[in-house]
Amino acid sequence: MKKEIAFIFDLDGVIVDTAKYHFLAWRNLAKELGFEFTQEHNELLKGVSRVKSLEILLGIGNVEISEEEKQKYLIQKNEEYLGFVNKMTAEEILPGVSNLLDYLDSKNIIYALGSASKNAPLILEKVGLYNRFAALVDGNDVSKAKPDPEVFLIGAKKLQMKPENCVVVEDAIAGVEAAKLANMTCVGIGSKEVLGKADFVFDDMTGFTTEFLNKLIN
Ligand code: BG6
Ligand code: MG
């Protein structure tokens, strides 16, 4: 028998690769504060809110600053990041994503966005995907960051779907944890070692073959 299911997609690292832009902006801030910020450090910020990312960065550099300075740096970092985001086009949609969305549309399967990013609506607009989602939940809508399941539970509610009938697609450990805490099926995008708690793990979004999708739906 056919199950009614819906998808909830993370944005950064799933739909588009914005980690490289976050990295450039955080690295410049670290440089200004007098320490080095590496690609390895950047991994720690995946799926993490902007405020928490700054806390982690300051911890790496062992730097203590005032609340006022933190606010200033958060704005400065975001302005630099937006400089990159504003140049984004549909070419930056990750391989496999457009085919997957076309497939879901063809089967009348609805999907939402469930992202920690406050810039999510702008990014979707830039890459031409804003109007395709039945619902959007982003960093402006949540009070508790991933791994709290709030973002995905709001997504399910907006889609009017039961959590157990939702499939979350995530590239961050915190996101996979959030999906499982929400009692949803989770597809991890990345390495099996890192995303071991997900129900299925693919190296990238091209892992969503028609065969896999048919198995999931039927
Ligand atoms: C997540 C990213 O999607 O959004 C994190 O994985 C980022 O790296 C977070 O810190 C918040 O993004 P923004 O756009 O609100 O600064
Ligand atoms: Mg992500």
CATH code: domain of residue 203: 3.40.50.1000
C-alpha to C-alpha distances, 110 to 37, 103, 132, nearest whole angstrom: 39, 11, 9
Domain end position, chosen among 33, 55, 85 = 85
Ramachandran class of 135: left when φ > 0, alpha when ψ lies in -120 to 50, beta otherwise: beta
42 pocket-lining for ligand 1 (C-beta < 6 Å): no
Strand partners, 136: 113
The pLDDT value given to residue 218 = 81
Give the residue, out of 41, 117, 151, 177, with the most ligand 1 atoms within 8 A of its beta carbon, to mutate for a pocket test.
117
Q: Which ligand 1 atom lies nearest to the CA of residue 123?
A: 14
**Confidence (pLDDT) at 3:** 62
Shared domain for 51 and 139, answered yes or no, is no
Q: Is the domain of 111 the same as that of 212? A: yes
CA torsion through residues 169, 27, 80, 32, sign = positive
DSSP one-letter code for 180: H
The answer to the question of residue 185 being in a domain is yes
Q: Are residues 126 and 207 both part of a single domain?
A: yes
Domain co-membership, 25 together with 72: yes
Q: What is the pTM of this model?
A: 0.95
Containing structural domain, residue 75: 19-85
Kindly report the backbone phi and psi dihedral angles of residue 35, in degrees, each rounded to the nearest multiple of 5, phi listed first: -145, 170
Asked if residue 114 and residue 202 are part of one domain, the reply reads yes
Coil vs helix vs strand at 54: helix
Concatenate the DSSP letters of all residues of 19-69 into one string: HHHHHHHHHHHHHHHTS---HHHHHTTTT--HHHHHHHHHHHHT----HHH
Q: Which of 52, 85, 118 delimits the end of a domain?
A: 85
Single out the residue in 35, 54, 85 at which a domain terminates: 85
1 lies in some domain: no
The answer to whether residue 70 is domain-embedded is: yes
Tell me whether residue 12 is one of the annotated catalytic residues: yes
Calculate how far, in angstroms, residue 186's C-alpha sits from the geometric centre of ligand 2.
13
Same domain (yes/no): 192, 107: yes
Does one domain contain both 157 and 126? yes
Write down the pLDDT at residue 82: 98
Residue 44 lies in a domain: yes
Atom nearest to 77 CA in ligand 1: 16
- Examine residue 206 and state whether it is found in any structural domain, yes or no: yes
Q: Is 185 in the pocket of ligand 1 (CB under 6 A)?
A: no
Q: Are residues 44 and 60 in the same domain?
A: yes
Asked if residues 167 and 185 have their Cβ atoms less than 8 Å apart, the reply is yes
Q: One digit per residue, pLDDT tens: the chain, 218 residues?
A: 446 999 999 999 999 999 999 999 999 999 999 999 999 999 899 999 999 999 999 999 999 999 999 999 999 999 999 999 999 999 999 999 999 999 999 999 999 999 999 999 999 999 999 999 999 999 999 999 999 999 999 999 999 999 999 999 999 999 999 999 999 999 999 999 999 999 999 999 999 999 999 999 88
Helix (H) / strand (E) element for 58: namely helix 50-61
* 144 plus 211 within the same structural domain: yes
Number of domains in the chain: 2
Q: Is residue 69 part of a domain?
A: yes
Q: Is the same domain home to 180 and 127?
A: yes
Q: Name residue, tokens 């039961």.
A: 162
pLDDT at 54: 98
Query: Residues 102, 73: one domain?
Result: no
Residue nearest to atom 2 of ligand 1 (CA): 47
Kindly state whether residues 55 and 111 are assigned to the same domain. Answer: no
